[in-house]
Amino acid sequence: MTKIQIPYGSEQIELNIEGKLLILDSSSRSNIGNKKYDVIRHALQNPIGTKKLREIVATKKAAKIVVVIDDHTRNAPTEKMLDALTEELGDVLNITLLVACGTHEGPTEEDLRRMLGKCFSRFDIKIHNCDAKDLVYLGTTSRGMPISINKNYVEADIKILTGDITLHYYAGFGGGRKSILPGISSRDAIKRNHALLVDKHARTANLDNNPVHLDMCEAGSFVPPDFVINTISDNNGNLVGAYAGEMHTVFLKGVEVAKDLFCIENNDLFDILVVSAGGFPKDRNLYQASKAVENCYRALVPGGKFILIAECREGIGDTYFEEWMNKYASYEAAAAAIKTSFVLGGHKAYYMRKTMNRVRLSIVADIDSNTLTKWGINGYKSVADAVESEIGQSVTSGTEDAPKDNIKIGILRNGLDTLLIKS
């Protein structure tokens, strides 16, 4: 019997599982440890491709500064980055924080206080609205995407991006240019950019010929930031690296570290995968938590069992996601719809149906189990019930039932931040 704690919301749930287990944890691969955020200050003092931030600001009198920050669905060390930035800038007072929500609902005051800590009352805070009437049109990318950006950012004298570099299931990686598109762009620009996800190169941890990534880069070049700071943290929240300076250089430097940290090579295909999205806020809703499924399902044998553990205290998280799961009951139907009637939120249904076309999906969540059942998903309210029901049964391995002693089970504590790849 193996005991392991796995994140669920704000708690750690203990699992007791018998069988041939492999515990997968990318955070254990980092021997750098917790830098206590000194690396952020080091990055500011040693920028890549730009002058130091204080030197940039010194060239402009009474500069209006806008700092773009990740929203509440991300887990970036925003407060620590802001602390370091204010130390670097000294007495500069005219600073506005712009929350890059993309198409997400804006954060509540509680969310902002959690994200910003003592910085909550230190700055003027603006929350991006992708449907705002005063977005500024900047032009059209080579792929035909009309780009309109938040007015506060466009009109700022000094533009600063912050954020973390993580895996992203069709942009390759989050961070860098993603703070602009989708972060502070119009709904139409985001929708058109995300519609490129059907391209075979638009996949997790890949930037080569990835049209989603390339289109984001082009959008960012229309109104480039003066300075960027991006961080990389392991699955336990320990800061592994930080880089500052010119947007693309910083991003690519961080991606090198993120690849080594988050991608796990594994030759064995599992019969069962038990995957936590990583706890709150990563599992705040199914819309966010389902990224863990996309990252990991290819490590299962065809017909294998995928058990997603995600609290989903906010439920499904997106109206169109739910609507498409109700409307399109097969991968083929969802794939046809994504190509002809793309809508943000619907793409999540496309990915989930794609997964379900290969594996059997179960979800432990605070979601109406009838809804999940209607979608063809086994829904559970407790981890213990899911383990007893799903792992207690034999699973199909090829064409024959595998004996219980031979079942290969993989356990992953941070599915949102881990990509399982075949070496």
DSSP label at 151? H
CB hemisphere CA count around 109 (13 angstroms): 1
- Whole-angstrom distance, CA of residue 359 vs CA of residue 355: 6
Q: Which residues pair with 137 in a beta bridge?
A: 148
Dig out the tokens for 114 from the structure.
């959690």
Dig out the tokens for 264 from the structure.
């796990």
pLDDT confidence of residue 397: 40
2-25+266-421 has which CATH code? Answer: 3.90.226.30
CATH 3.40.50.11440 positions along the chain are 47-261
Grouped pLDDT means (10 residues each) for the chain, 423 residues: 86 81 63 61 96 91 89 89 91 88 91 90 94 97 95 96 94 96 96 92 95 97 96 87 97 95 86 94 94 93 96 95 96 92 91 95 95 96 89 50 70 91 72
Residue corresponding to tokens 């109206």: 319
Residue corresponding to tokens 């980055």: 81
Dig out the tokens for 176 from the structure.
């860098």
207 by Cβ neighbours in 10 Å (0-12 / 13-18 / 19+) ranks as middle
Which pTM does this prediction carry?
0.84
- Whole-angstrom distance, CA of residue 56 vs CA of residue 61: 11
Peptide bond into 302 cis (omega under 30): no
pLDDT confidence of residue 16: 79
| DSSP states along 363-388 | EESSS-HHHHHHTT-EEES-HHHHII
pLDDT confidence of residue 405: 60
Which superfamily does CATH assign the domain made up of 47-261 to? LarA, N-terminal domain (3.40.50.11440)
